[in-house]
Amino acid sequence: MGDWFMSGFSFSTQFRQRWSQIPDTVRVAIYQELDDIVTLLNPDVDLADFKFSQSNLTAHIEALYLQDAKQKLRASMTAVMPEPIKLACQSDGEQDDFGLSDKQKKLIQSLEMSIDDYLAETLSLISKDLKAWVTEEVKRQGST
């Protein structure tokens, strides 16, 4: 995107804070979507043939958030948990559930749902900010 495109726009403090906290992969996907929008605004582009890089940006970003959360969880678990020890009485086909009680499993499931809710809410806020920005930018571009 050229510097001319964002010349009349200033981001809110909340947007900057949220933007700096999102994973790089999500940021790249959003930049790509914005590039697609800029391309779409070009009068030489045939609207009938235009295709966005991601047909479903929301699903793509949700998948990126999930992937990032899994990577962070793996990294934190690796840093905290020692290598699993195979018991002499445990066969290769046996899988240990780390001795979790039903209560612990329900807690894990509840926390996972909370993570999903948090990510969905964050994505929704970012989406609203970007949609407002696109609307204002299109209005600004139309008035020049």
Per-block average pLDDT, block size 10, for the chain (144 residues)? 55 79 92 92 89 92 90 76 58 60 88 85 84 84 72
pLDDT value of residue 137: 82
How far apart are alpha carbons 142 and 46 in whole angstroms?
A: 19
pTM flag (> 0.75) = no
pLDDT value of residue 140: 81
Q: Which residues contact 131 (CB under 8 A, 6 or more apart)?
A: none
Sign of CA dihedral 34, 35, 37, 41: positive
Q: Which residues contact 139 (CB under 8 A, 6 or more apart)?
A: none
Counting Cα atoms < 13 Å in the Cβ hemisphere of 10 gives 2
Question: Distance between alpha carbon 28 and the CA centroid of its chain, in Å?
Answer: 10
- CB neighbourhood size of 29 (10 A): 19
Residue ranges of the domains in the chain? 13-79+102-142
| Residue labelled with tokens 């806020």 | 125
